[in-house]
């Protein structure tokens, strides 16, 4: 588990997700503050709390939705191709086949890398005799 903390790809992935979240969080704070400023003074604290709670819940729902859509990326590719075909919009099949083959290749490499990591961990846990 600690090797993940030093893996440059994991760090880059984390930063890729963290930086937009921080920027959007600051944006939410500013927006809620501006909107709460238009509310009656006695209700501003409640408006801020409700605004921040709604921003948090909305962000969590959107992140869950993005995660769910990413899991369905192959189905989305097939669905878009079928809808486009139904609307008589021609998508060259070579593009679709390449996207499918590329996705399969990346998934295969991920599976291979995962099995090699497991094998290395298993080998490092075996005590020398």
The pLDDT tens digits for 85-109 are 888 888 888 888 888 888 888 888 8
Which H or E run contains 15? helix 8-36
CB atoms under 10 Å from CB of 32, counted, come to: 19
Nearest to 73, CA basis, from 112, 101, 100, 105? 100
- Whole-angstrom Cα distance, residue 7 to residue 120? 15
Quick check: helix, strand or coil at residue 28? Answer: helix
Spans of all domains in the chain: 1-69, 72-129
The pLDDT tens digits for 64-75 are 887 776 666 767
The pLDDT tens digits for 29-65 are 899 999 999 999 999 999 999 999 998 898 889 888 8
First vs last C-alpha separation in the chain = 26
Residue 52 contacts residue 32 (beta carbons within 8 Å)? yes
Q: For all residues of the chain together, what is the average pLDDT? A: 84
Nearest to 107, CA basis, from 70, 65, 55, 56? 70
């Amino acid at each position: 588990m600690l090797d993940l903390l030093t893996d440059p790809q994991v760090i880059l992935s984390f930063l890729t997700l963290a930086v937009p979240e921080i920027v959007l969080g600051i944006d939410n704070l500013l927006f809620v503050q501006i909107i709460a400023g238009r509310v009656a003074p006695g209700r501003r604290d409640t408006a801020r709390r409700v605004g921040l709670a709604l921003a948090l819940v909305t962000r969590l729902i959107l992140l869950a939705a993005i995660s769910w859509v990413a899991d369905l990326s192959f189905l989305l590719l097939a669905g878009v191709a079928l809808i486009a075909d139904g609307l008589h919009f021609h998508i060259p099949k070579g593009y679709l086949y390449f996207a499918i083959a590329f996705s399969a290749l990346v998934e295969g490499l991920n599976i291979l890398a995962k099995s090699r990591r497991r094998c290395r961990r298993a080998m490092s846990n075996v005590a020398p005799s």
